[in-house]
Structure 1
Amino acid sequence: MSYLNIFMISFYWLFLSGTVFIAGALALKILIAIPSGADACVHTGENKTIGECTIPVIFFISLITLIFNIAHIILHCSVTTETPLLEVFSILPIFLLKTKYGMYSLMRTIVMIAIVLVLAFELKRNDKRVIITGFAFSLIFLVMLTMSGHQGTKGYLSIPFLLDILHVVAISIWIGGLFSIYCCYSFFLKKAGSESWNIFLEFINRFSRIATLCVVAITVSGTVIYLYNSKGFSDLVTTGYGVVLLMKILLFVLIILFGAINKFSLIPQLNKTDVNDWTRLMSLRKKLATTMTTEAFLGLLILLATSILTHLSPGE
């Protein structure tokens, strides 16, 4: 594998991680943070609500994601056309306008610019309708990403393609939500006091329920897609694609185990422990913060495996 391939996959990983973060962060706001009251809490040491503090973070990551997206397109054009990197700009317009992947790349770039503009507008005002608009654009972006993937070659009304959309959206809401909690809402896992304890419980319980639904959707859709594409379980150990897929599955099992610890042990204990037993509550919350941080790290590794799979063909 050449250094250009390594850079191409690396930039795609960073771009994909940013995309998942944006979709997950906006979904978290709409489904969890705003309804639970978390966004309305005033951040310690800030004269702003947590909701107001999170938007600049999401906006900045959307800008970085746009840059990584453009960098990946340039490298992808260079690798697929076997054109030296310094000469690739001369054929880039043809690549973007005359090839199927190029056209999808151009369209997703336009949608990402729209997301950046929506978030820039949200910096000036705290409006749930703007957040919903940004999330709608992020869903469109995820669909376009799926259209340019392996399942898109099977037709846009095929079962594998439709399941892949479900798969990608569920991953984005779950893992992107974990990223968002780590980057934007860690206050609740580390510093929230007794005055906001009920909001913390509502926040974490809502996320647990939605994460469970996402895990079910990911498991079912991923299994069916594999059965559609696989010629046999031997593919998992006889091809490079299969080995990377097996690693992704193992990482997925591992992240589910940590999620199960949260759902069936730590969160129920947090709900049942008396609010006056602050020492025990802090101990449980610290453990929850550790397991959720581990989940977020494993999520990054899953996205790395996904990025490698995207640049391999099944059977290779």
Structure 2
Amino acid sequence: MDWLETVNDPLIVVRAIHFTATAVTAGSMLFRVAVAEPALGSGAPATAARMQSLSVAWIGLAIAAVSGAIWVLLEAAAMSGLSLSEAMTADILSTVLNETQFGLVSEIRLALASTLAACLACSRMPWTRWPALTSAFGLIAALAWAGHAGSSVGLIGLLHLTADVLHLTAAAAWIGALVPLAMLLAVARRRQDFVWTSLARHATQRFSTLGLLSVGVLLITGVVNACILVGSFYALQATEYGRLVILKTALFAVMLLLAAANRFWLMPQLAPLSRTDMQIDALRRLTRNSVLEIILGVAVIAIVGALGILHPAIHIALA
């Protein structure tokens, strides 16, 4: 498949949008539970952060719902061999949804999305936090069954599926949670208030710990997936699939550098006991780096959307 044809494939674009929206939805829920509430307490900053994460989750869920519906229609056209308009019939859509693994996964994910929407609508009730978090990460984890891992069999298939589930959830925890973190940092930078600066430092510290755990899981599961889907250094450099994996790895490495700069260089600059120009500059740089990480993360997710369409490199290399 020619690369120019690949990037213009509507299915890849829709998958990339859907993966991104789902990751941001799950990440914003995790940010609220694991970062904002423990770090910010119960004052005005905590309320602002909670409302921000709630807004991000609603927007992400809405985009995921629309892109998910379009994904089903595009898959129906691809499976039937018909044009998009011809495939939009009750019979074809019913067949795709009820008689294929992709359809079953889509129905399960629709139920999870509906549960999440109900929890978000009742977000003032404390008991909805954990059902919301569980359904949000179930929504992203279930994508593993819609990709290459879902068609693997045997013990290798189980390993592949497990690695893919962990890979997707770790990516959502890091990239998705970056969005509400960047918004919080931007607010703290605008406020001429040491309290906000201190709270931003605590939130960034907790997120940094979350990021370290996510990176560790991403590295391990990424290696497992590469061994299963690429198989050799020759396939890595000789196939389109392998070259995309190299590009994805390079973008991931740049994200790691930005994260390391945040943790070991900029975060310590927020430590002084009063508001200083150094703190303001550190907040500005942290916000900028977080936005750059988000952009790179979206690019990585777009590559994942392409990889899910291409034949794995190991199949091509063995052909």
Q: Secondary structure at the match of 1:49?
A: helix
* Equivalent runs, 1:38-77 vs 2, <5 Å: 40-42=43-45, 49-77=48-76
Question: Could you report, residue by residue, the CA deviation over 1:153-179 in whole angstroms, capped at 9, with x for unpaired residues?
Answer: 224862221122111111110000112
- Where 1:234 maps in the other structure, the secondary structure is helix
Contact 1:111 1:137 in 2 (8 A): yes
Aligned to 2:94: 93
- Structure 2 stretches of 5 or more lacking a match? none
Write the distance in 1 (CA, Å) between the matches of 2:68 and 2:160: 25
Residue 134 of structure 1 corresponds to 132
* CA–CA distance in structure 1, aligned partners of residues 60 and 226 of structure 2: 32
Amino acid across the alignment from 2:142: M
Post-superposition Cα deviations, 1:198-219, rounded to whole Å, max 9, x if no partner, equal 2221111000111011111101
Paired AA for residue 107 in structure 1: I
Alignment-mate amino acid for residue 89 of structure 1? M
Report deviation, 1:228. 3.0
CA distance in 1, matches of 2:154, 2:69: 25
* 8 Å contact from structure 1 (residues 237, 243) kept in 2: yes
2: CA distance between counterparts of 1:39 and 1:57?
20
Cα distance change on mapping 1:189 and 1:217 into 2, 3 Å: farther
Task: Tell me, yes or no, if the aligned pair for 1:248 and 1:302 is still in contact at 8 Å.
Answer: yes
Distance 1:221 1:189 in 2: 36
Distance 1:108 1:37 in 2: 32
Contact 1:30 1:128 in 2 (8 A): no
Q: Distance in 2 between matches of 1:88 and 1:76?
A: 9
- Tell me the distance in 1 between the aligned counterparts of 2:110 and 2:18: 11
In the alignment, the residues of structure 1 paired with residue 103 and residue 7 of structure 2 have an alpha-carbon distance, to the nearest angstrom, of 18
Tell me the amino acid that sits aligned with residue 242 of structure 2. Answer: G
CA RMSD of aligned residues (A): 2.3
Match of 1:297 in 2: 295
Going from structure 1 to structure 2, the CA distance change for 1:201 and 1:270 (only over 3 Å counts) comes to same
Over 6 Å off, 4+ runs: 1-5
1:18 aligns with 2:17: no
**Structure 1: runs of 5+ lacking an equivalent:** none
Structure 1 residues 170-196: Cα deviation after superposition (integer angstroms, max 9, x where no partner)? 111000011222356631354362123
Equivalent pairs counted in the alignment come to: 307
CA shift, 1:23, in A, is 0.6
TM-score, normalising length: structure 2: 0.89
In 1: Cα distance, 2:6 partner to 2:53 partner: 36
**1:216 corresponding residue in structure 2:** 216
Give the distance between the partners of 1:12 and 1:175, measured in 2 at CA.
16
Alignment of 1:1-316 (within 5 A): 6-37=9-40, 40-42=43-45, 49-90=48-89, 91-122=92-123, 125=124, 127-155=125-153, 158-183=158-183, 186-191=186-191, 193-271=193-271, 274-276=272-274, 278-315=276-313, 316=316
Q: Supply the distance in 1 between the matched residues of 2:268 and 2:261 (Cα, whole angstroms).
A: 10
SS in 1 for 2:9: helix
Are residues 209 and 53 of structure 1, via their aligned partners in 2, closer, same or farther at CA, if it must alter by over 3 Å? closer
Q: Percent identity?
A: 21
Change (3 A) 1:16 1:38: farther
For each residue in 1:239-289, what CA deviation from the matched residue of structure 2 results, as whole angstroms up to 9, or x when unmatched? 111111111011101111111111111112323xx2335111111111111
TM-aligned CA distance change 1:4 to 1:286, over 3 Å: closer
Contact 1:13 1:304 in 2 (8 A): yes
Contact 1:4 1:75 in 2 (8 A): no
